Chains A and B, each alone.
Chain A
C-alpha cells in the first residue's frame, strides 16, 4: 500500500510541489538563519580562537566578555609569573585606535599589542612578511580583509588598491609601516585588525593609568590549566580563565545581553511557521481531497494502522525532500557567499540535526491533522455520492 500512498502523493502534482516548496523554504530559512547566527556568535570569540598558544587568560574580575576591556596594572604580569604552575606569562594589549586614511577619513581599527620579546599572541597565518618583522621600527601587520577593504587606498581612477607591505598608515597620529599581511578569523565588529608590539601599541593608545588588557599565560607541563587558574585567582584577586571558559563567558554574554538571539530566533520561527502554514495546510488539503479514496481503502479492508503509516510515509517523504533541498540551498548559498563576502556562515552538523528536527516536527504536525481526519473517517462515507 505504501507504493500506492506515494503514487497518490506524487500524482497530485500541484499540491506535491506546493508542500515541497513550503518545506524547502522552511528548511532553507531555518538552516540559513541558524548558520548565520552560529557564524556571528563564533566571531564574538574569534580573537580567542586565533591566539592559540596560551591556555590561561587573566583579566580584571569585572570583565564580562573578551571585548570588555578593563585594563590591569603592568606589574600584574610579574605577579602572575610568580604563581606556582605558570610556565610563562606575557602582556597583551587590545584596543581600538583610529587610522587616518589617505582620503582624510578615519577608520577605527582593532589594535593588538604583542609582548615585545616573545611576540606571543600574533596572527595565526601570515600571507606576506613575518611576525618577527614587527621588531622593525614602527612596524605593523594588517589583516588581509582590512587591507583589501576598509584600509585599502583609492587609486586615481577610484579603484581600491589593497594595502601592502611597505605602505604607511597613520595610527593615532603616529606614522606606522606595514611589514606584513595576515589572515585571521573574521571579527565580530568587522573592523580591520592591526598587530604591533605591546610597547608600541601602548604608545599609540590614548594615555591612561593602566593599559594592560590581558595577561596570557601557559600552565607548566603536567599542570592542569584549571587548577593553575584557581591559583592565579587566589594569589592575585584577578580572574583567570581557560580559553574554553573565556569563549563560553563571551558567548553567553552576547546571548544574554544582545538582541541577536531574539532576531535570529524570530527568523527561524518565521521559517517554522511558514513551513507549518504552507506545508501543513497544503498537506491537509491533499488529505481532504483524497478523503474519499482513504474512505474507499478503509471500506475495502485497509486498517487504520496501515492508513496511518501511509500518511506518515507521505509526510516523511515530502519532509525528506524539502529538508534536503532546503539544507542544500542554504549550504550552496553559504559556500557561494563565504568566499566572496564577509558574511558569517557556520554550519556545523548539530545545526543540520536541529533543522531536521524542525522539519520533522512540521511534517508530523501537518500529518497529525490529516491522520486525525482519516482515523475518524467513517468508511460509510464511501456510499455518499
Chain B
C-alpha cells in the first residue's frame, strides 16, 4: 500500500557507477552489453532497473554485485572498487556486504529452509548450529512457522521459496541487496506480498536495494526507477510512493 508520508532517511552513496562498459565476446561476435552506464544508488533506497530483454539490466547488477568484472568506467560499492581487489577479496566482499535474491530462488534442494538461510552466515565463518538458529529467527520474521522451518524447498510454494530466498539475502545483514526478477516466477498477489516484504524488512537506512524487473505491477514499490535501453540508462523517474510497515506486511503474510 502506498504511504505518502514515507520519507527516505539520511542517505549515503551505496553504489556509484560512471561510464561503466562491458563487452561479451571478441571480434565480430563481440556484444557490448553496457555502453557507459551512469548510476547512483543511495542507502535507504529501493531502486528498480527496468527495460526490455537484453538491454543490460542483469549485466549491470552482476557488475554492481561483483559477480562480473566490468571492462571500463568507474564503479564503487560503498567506496570499494572491485577492479582494485583480487578475485578472492571480491568473493569475500560479496559474502560480507551483498545479499542476493534470484529469479529462480536458487535454494539448495537437499538442505532445509533453515539450512539454506544459514549458508551466508556459515560462509562468513559462523558455526553451523548458531547459524541455523539465527536463520530460523530470520525465517520467523518472514512469516515461517516452526513446521516450515525444516521443510525442503521442493515442498514449499513459489512464494514461500522466495521468502526463504529473501531471508537468506538478509540474514547476514548485508549493505546492498540485489534482486533479479524476484517476482517473475510468482503470481500477481504473491509478487506484491514479496515486494511488500522486501520494502518492509529489507530496506533500511544503511542498506540499498536494487531490483531488476520486467514486472510493471511492482513499480510502485520503488523509490526510483532507472530505465535501461541498449546498455544505457535512458531515464530515472520517481513513482507513486508505496510502503507499509513491516508489521502490517507480516500480518498479511501469515500462512
Quick one: which of A1, A10, A12, A299 contacts B122, CB cutoff 8 A?
A1
B181 touching A385, Cβ below 8 Å = yes
A303 to B180, CA, bound (A): 22
Q: Which residues of B contact A292 (CB under 8 A)?
A: 104, 106
One of A39-47, A140-148, A376-384 at the interface: A376-384
Instruction: Give the number of residues in B that approach A within 8 Å (Cβ atoms).
Output: 34
Is A302's CB under 8 angstroms from B104's CB?
no
Q: How far is the CA of A300 from the CA of B121 in the complex (A)?
A: 10
CA distance in complex: A7, B103 (Å)? 24
Contacting residue for B58 out of A1, A10, A304, A383, CB 8 A: A383
Verify B111–A4 contact, CB threshold 8 A.
Answer: yes
> Which A residues are in CB contact (< 8 Å) with B184?
385
* Stretch of B35-43, B87-95, B243-251 contacting A (4+ beta carbons < 8 Å): B87-95
- Interface-side segment among B61-69, B141-149, B234-242: B61-69
| Distance, CA A1 to CA B127, complexed state (A) | 9
B92 touches A301 (CB 8 A): yes
B181 touching A301, Cβ below 8 Å: no
Q: Is there an interface contact between B119 and A4, defined as CB atoms closer than 8 Å?
A: yes
Query: Which residue of chain A is the closest to B181 with respect to CB atoms?
Result: A385
Are A11 and B68 in contact (CB-based, < 8 A)? no
Which residues of chain A (339-385) have a CB below 8 Å from chain B?
Answer: 378-380, 382-385
Q: Are B65 and A299 in contact (CB under 8 A)?
A: yes
Query: Within 8 Å of chain A (Cβ to Cβ): is B109?
Result: yes
Interface centre among B96, B104, B108 (most CB of A within 10 A): B108
- The verdict on B191 contacting chain A, using a C-beta distance below 8 Å, is no
Whether A300 and B95, one on each chain, are in contact in the complex, defined by CB atoms closer than 8 angstroms, is yes
Q: How far is the CA of A298 from the CA of B180 in the complex (A)?
A: 16
Given A300-B100, A379-B67, A383-B102, A4-B62 contact (CB < 8 Å): no
Contact assessment for B67 and A293 in the assembled complex, using a CB-CB cutoff below 8 Å: no
Q: Which residues from chain B contact A257 at a C-beta distance below 8 Å?
A: none
Which A-chain residue is minimally distant from B110 (CB atoms)?
Answer: A11
Interface residues of A in 248-301 (CB under 8 A from B): 290, 292-293, 295-301
- Asked if B80 CB lies within 8 Å of chain A CBs, one says no
Q: Residue B120 at the A interface, CB < 8 A?
A: yes
| C-alpha gap A4/B61 in the complex (Å) | 28
Partner of A382, one of B106, B109, B111, B119: B106
Whether a CB of chain A sits under 8 angstroms from the CB of B18 is no
Q: Is A320 an interface residue (CB 8 A)?
A: no
Contact A10 B110 (CB under 8 A): yes
**Known contacts A4-B119, A8-B110; A301/B62 CB under 8 A:** no
The distance from the CB of B71 to the nearest CB of chain A, in whole angstroms, is: 14
Contacts of B65 in A (CB 8 A): 299
Query: In the complex, what residues of A have CB within 8 A of residue B67's CB?
Result: 298-299, 378-380, 382-383
**Interface status of B217 (Cβ within 8 A of chain A):** no
Structural contact, A382 and B100, CB atoms closer than 8 A = yes
The CA of A237 and the CA of B96, in the complex, are separated in Å by 83
In the assembled complex, the Cα of A299 lies from the Cα of B168 at a distance in Å of: 13
Report the bound CA distance from A127 to B132 in whole Å. Answer: 68
Could you tell me the distance in whole angstroms from the C-beta of A274 to the nearest C-beta in chain B? 27
Chain A, Cβ-Cβ closest to B106:
A296
Q: Is B128 in contact with A385, judged by CB distance below 8 angstroms?
A: no
In the docked arrangement, what's the CA distance between A303 and B91, Å? 6
Q: Are B180 and A383 in contact (CB under 8 A)?
A: yes
Complex: A296 Cα to B94 Cα, angstroms: 11
Does B223 interact with chain A (Cβ within 8 Å)?
no
**A-side contacts of B111, CB under 8 Å:** 4, 7-8, 11
**A303 pairs with B88, CB closer than 8 A:** yes
CB distance from A287 to the nearest CB of B (A): 14
When the two chains form their complex, are residues B58 and A4 in contact, meaning their CB atoms are under 8 A apart?
no
List B114-171 residues whose CB lies under 8 Å from chain A: 115, 119-120, 122-124, 128
* Least CB distance, B126 to chain A, in whole angstroms: 11
Complex CA–CA separation, A378 to B91 (angstroms)? 11
Please judge, given known A-B contacts A11-B109, A382-B100, whether A301 and B122 are in contact too, CB under 8 Å: no
Asked if A300 meets B94 with Cβ closer than 8 Å, knowing A7-B115, A292-B106, A385-B104, the reply is yes
Which residues does chain B contribute within 8 Å of A11, judged by CB atoms? Answer: 109-111
Q: How far is the CA of A12 from the CA of B154 in the complex (A)?
A: 13
Q: Lowest 3 CB-CB distances: which A-B pairs, in order?
A: A301-B95, A11-B110, A379-B67
Interchain residue pairs with CB less than 8 A apart (25) = A1-B122, A4-B119, A8-B110, A8-B111, A12-B110, A290-B108, A292-B104, A295-B106, A296-B102, A296-B106, A297-B119, A300-B94, A300-B120, A300-B123, A303-B92, A304-B88, A378-B67, A379-B67, A380-B67, A383-B62, A383-B102, A383-B103, A383-B180, A385-B181, A385-B184
**Interface contacts beyond A297-B119, A301-B124, A385-B103: sample of 10 additional A-B pairs, CB < 8 Å, sorted by A:** A7-B110, A7-B115, A292-B104, A296-B102, A300-B100, A301-B92, A301-B94, A301-B96, A301-B120, A383-B62
